[in-house]
Amino acid sequence: MRKGLGDLPACITSHLCQVAPSATSLPPAVIRLVCQDHLASPREIVVERFPIDLGRGDGAGLRIDDRWLSRRHCRLDMVDGVLTVRDLGSRHGTYINGQVVRESKLLPGDELCIGLTHFVAEYETSAVCVPALRR
């Protein structure tokens, strides 16, 4: 079952930041972060606004209850139709597919590991982002 940000329990709280979209950010995109821990609740988090910071602190746009996360651990943003993740100087690092990253694309099917929490990114690239082929 899909869960919106308003459906998240106390351990994962949304505090959507009122940040003006960057010039390279595209409007509405829906990203699902599917937690790989089968006991996690919820197993799926839907992110619809960018940029958004993930972390354990009250100032994070998406708060995750994981003691290994920094208060503001990493930032997700949509740049030219591709989800990007940027580490915000976290103590334990941000990993994509097992590789530590400072900033990187997060493609559909990639695993994002922050703290002890492992997510798989699920989203479709928007038709708006792909130039139409002319016949």
Higher pLDDT, 66 or 126: 66
Mean pLDDT of the chain: 78
Q: What is the DSSP letter of 25?
A: -
pLDDT in tens, 69-117: 999 999 999 988 889 999 999 999 999 999 999 999 999 999 999 999 9
Torsion of CA 35, 111, 124, 16, to 10 degrees: 60
Per-residue pLDDT at 8? 42
Which of the four pLDDT bands, split at 50, 70 and 90, describes residue 3?
A: very low
pTM: 0.71
pLDDT in tens, 17-50: 333 334 444 445 789 999 988 776 678 889 999 9
Residue 70 near residue 92, CB atoms below 8 Å: yes
Biggest CA–CA distance in the chain, Å, is 54
Helix or strand or coil: residue 1? coil
